[in-house]
Amino acid sequence: MLSDTSLPVITATLPVVGANIKEIAQRFYEHMFAEHPELLDGVFNRGNQADGRQQQALAGSIAAFATSLVEKPDELPDHLLSRVSHKHVSLGLRPDQYQIVHDHFMWAIGDVLGDAVTDDVAAAWDEVYWIMANVLINKERGLYGAVKLSPETIWRTWRVVERIQETDDVVTFVVERTDERDVKPSLPGQYVTLKALMPDGVHQPRQYSLTKADDGEHRQFSVKRVHGLKTPDGEVSNLLHSQFEVGDEVVLSAPFGDVVLEYTDRPVVLASAGIGVTPMAGMLSHLVQAKSQRTVRFWHADNAADTFALRQQIEEDLAKLPDASMTAWFADPAEPTQMADGELVGFMDISAVELPVDAAYYLCGPLVFMQAVRSSLIAAGVPAKDIQYEVFGPDLWLADFT
Ligand code: HEM
C-alpha cells in the first residue's frame, strides 16, 4: 500500500504523468538502451520497440498500477501483475535488472516533466515503482522456483523433427529434446519464448503458444508469418518460415503463461480468431490427453477454410471427446453458398450458438475480436469471472489506465 506521504502526491501527479506517458516511455527506452545495449540482444523484442507497443505497455502499466494504488489501495491488480511476471520469467529476467529499469524510468519522468518533478514527486513515484517491482520480483522468484529453474537455466536447445505447412502463412514446428534431461511439463494454454539468432548477430525473443500437450520428448508450436517484413517486425517469423527445416536447432524457454485451463468438470468454450487458435488447440489437446469428460465447444473465426490453421488436429481431437463440437465462422469463404455443417459466414456471432450452462470461456485473437466477443458474452449473462483471454503481443487492454 502507498504511504500517506505519497498518496496525495501520486493522486495529484497522475494526470500529468498519464498525459505524458508516451513521451516518458520513449525517452526511458532510448536512455536505457543507450546505456545497456545488451538488453536489445535477446531480452527486448525490437519489433515491439519499433512500433511503440511495448514502450506503452511497460510504462503504461506503471501508471495503471499507480491509479489502482490510489483508487483501490487494498487490492493489487493481480491480472496485470500475473501476466507481466509470466512474460518476464519466460525471458529469463533477473531481479538485479529492476534497478536498471528504475533508474531510467525515474530519469525519464524528470526529463519530460522538468521542474514539476520536485523531490516529493520523485520520492512518491519511486515508491510506486518499488511496490510494483517488489511484487513482480517475488512472483517471478516463485515462478522460477515452482519449476526448479533459474533465469540462466530456463533455456534449452531443441531439434526440429517435423515441419507442417498448415496454411500459406502458418507453419507448425515439432521439436524434440537434444539431451536426456526431463522436459518441464506445460499447463494447457502456456507459451514458450523462442530465442532466434538474427543475421546481424543479435538474438531476438518471441513467444509462441504450445499447440499440443506434452509427451515428455517434444514440444509443438505454430508460427504465423508476419507480412511485409517491415524490419524488425516480422523478422523472426519470416526467418523461421524461410530457414528452419527438419534437423535445425532452436532455443526455447521453459513454458510459462497465466491464461491456463482450469481443471474442473465445467463445460468449456474455446473461442478464437485467426492465429489465436494456437493456445486453444493446446488446451484441447490437453483435454484429450486427460481423457476429459467435459462438454467442449470450439468456436473459431477465420478468413476462410484455407486460412484456418491446425484444423485437422483440432477436428481429430474433438472427435476423441465425448461431448465436443466446433462452430467455425468464415468472413470471406470461397463458396459462401456451400458451407458444411457447423460453418457459418461472417464474424463470430454468439447469438448463432447455444451457450452451455455454467461454462468457462477462453478467448484468444485480435483485441477487437476479444472485446466484441467478451461484450456479447457479458450481455448474454455470462459472469466476467468466467471469461479469460490471452493477448498476443504487449497487452494494451491492460495498460490502458485512462
Ligand atoms: C514486458 C511491466 C520491469 C523487461 C512487460 C510488459 C509490462 C511490463 C506491462 C508487457 C507485458 C505484456 O503484456 O506482454 C514492467 C514493470 C516493471 C518491469 C511494471 C517494473 C516495475 C522490467 C525489467 C526488465 C523488463 C526490470 C528487464 C530489463 C521486459 C521485457 C518485456 C517486458 C523484455 C517483453 C518485451 C517485449 O516483448 O517487447 N513489462 N516491467 N521489465 N518487460 Fe517488463
Environment class of 278 (CB within 10 Å of its CB; exposed 0-12, middle 13-18, buried 19+): buried
71 CA distance to ligand 1 centroid (A)? 23
What confidence tier does 64 reach under pLDDT thresholds 50, 70, 90?
confident
Amino acid at 355: L
Amino acid at 314: I
Backbone angles phi, psi at 355, to 5 degrees: -90, 120
Which DSSP state fits 205?
E
- As a CATH number, domain 6-146 is 1.10.490.10
Reference 76, options 24, 132, 26, 33; nearest CA is 132
Helices and strands counted in the chain (H then E): 12, 12
Backbone angles phi, psi at 197, to 5 degrees: -90, 115
What confidence tier does 402 reach under pLDDT thresholds 50, 70, 90?
very low
Amino acid at 37: P
Which DSSP state fits 200?
T
116 CA distance to ligand 1 centroid (A)? 26
% the chain with pLDDT above 90: 80
What confidence tier does 392 reach under pLDDT thresholds 50, 70, 90?
confident
Q: Give the model confidence (pLDDT) of 277-290 as tens digits.
A: 999 999 999 999 99
Is residue 54 in contact with ligand 1, taking CB distance under 6 Å? yes
Sign for the pseudo-dihedral over CA of 302, 240, 186, 202? negative
Query: Which of 55, 88, 98, 99 has the most ligand 1 atoms within 8 A of CB, as the residue to mutate?
Result: 88
Mean pLDDT of 52-77: 79
Distance from C-alpha of 282 to C-alpha of 275, rounded to nearest angstrom: 12
Query: Which of 28, 38, 54 has the most ligand 1 atoms within 8 A of CB, as the residue to mutate?
Result: 54
* ipTM over the 0.85 cut-off: yes
What's CA 43's distance to the chain center, in Å? 15
pLDDT for the residue 336: 86
Atom of ligand 1 nearest to the CA of 136: 21
199 CA distance to ligand 1 centroid (A)? 25
Distance from C-alpha of 19 to C-alpha of 5, rounded to nearest angstrom: 23
Q: Give the model confidence (pLDDT) of 319-375 as tens digits.
A: 999 999 999 999 999 888 888 899 999 999 999 999 999 999 999 999 999 999 999
In this structure, the residue with its CA closest to atom 42 of ligand 1 is 88
Environment class of 22 (CB within 10 Å of its CB; exposed 0-12, middle 13-18, buried 19+): middle
Query: Which of 61, 136, 206, 226 has the most ligand 1 atoms within 8 A of CB, as the residue to mutate?
Result: 61
Atom of ligand 1 nearest to the CA of 133: 21
Report whether pLDDT(393) > 90: no
- pTM for the whole structure: 0.94
b/e sequence 204-236, b meaning 16+ C-beta within 10 Å: bbbbbbbbbbbeeeebbbbbbbbeeeeebbbbb
Is the bond into 188 cis (omega within 30 degrees of 0)?
no
Q: Cβ of 109: how many Cβ atoms within 10 Å?
A: 27
Half-sphere exposure of 222 (CA within 13 A, CB side): 26
Q: Using DSSP, state whether 246 is helix, strand or coil.
A: coil
Atom of ligand 1 nearest to the CA of 97: 26
Q: Which cell numbers hold the place of 286?
A: 490437453
Report whether pLDDT(388) > 70: yes
Asked if the domains at 6-146 and 155-253 fall in one CATH topology, the answer is no
165 CA distance to ligand 1 centroid (A)? 32
Class of the 155-253 domain? mainly beta
pLDDT for the residue 380: 97
Distance from C-alpha of 204 to C-alpha of 50, rounded to nearest angstrom: 13
% the chain with pLDDT above 70: 95
Average pLDDT over the chain, rounded to whole? 92
Mean pLDDT of 118-125: 94
pLDDT for the residue 262: 92
Q: Are 288 and 261 in contact (CB under 8 A)?
A: no
Is residue 394 in contact with ligand 1, taking CB distance under 6 Å? yes
Q: Are 272 and 363 in contact (CB under 8 A)?
A: yes
Q: Is 263 one of the annotated active-site residues of the chain? A: no
Q: Which cell numbers hold the place of 19?
A: 498525459
pLDDT for the residue 400: 47
Is residue 133 in contact with ligand 1, taking CB distance under 6 Å? yes
Q: Using DSSP, state whether 291 is helix, strand or coil.
A: coil
Is residue 98 in contact with ligand 1, taking CB distance under 6 Å? yes
Is residue 301 in contact with ligand 1, taking CB distance under 6 Å? no
Q: Is 98 one of the annotated active-site residues of the chain? A: yes
Selecting among 140, 166, 235, 390, the annotated active-site residue is 140
pLDDT for the residue 229: 55
Instruction: Pick the range with the lowest mean pLDDT from 57-66, 88-97, 164-173.
Output: 57-66
Mean pLDDT of 49-72: 79
Distance from C-alpha of 369 to C-alpha of 352, rounded to nearest angstrom: 16
Distance from C-alpha of 53 to C-alpha of 51, rounded to nearest angstrom: 6
Q: Are 291 and 223 in contact (CB under 8 A)?
A: no
CATH 3.20.20.70 holds for 268-390:
no
What confidence tier does 395 reach under pLDDT thresholds 50, 70, 90?
low
Report whether pLDDT(394) > 80: no
Report whether pLDDT(231) > 70: no
pLDDT for the residue 401: 36
Report whether pLDDT(51) > 90: no
Is residue 101 in contact with ligand 1, taking CB distance under 6 Å? yes
Distance from C-alpha of 396 to C-alpha of 402, rounded to nearest angstrom: 11
Domain coordinates in residue numbering, the chain: 6-146, 155-253, 268-390
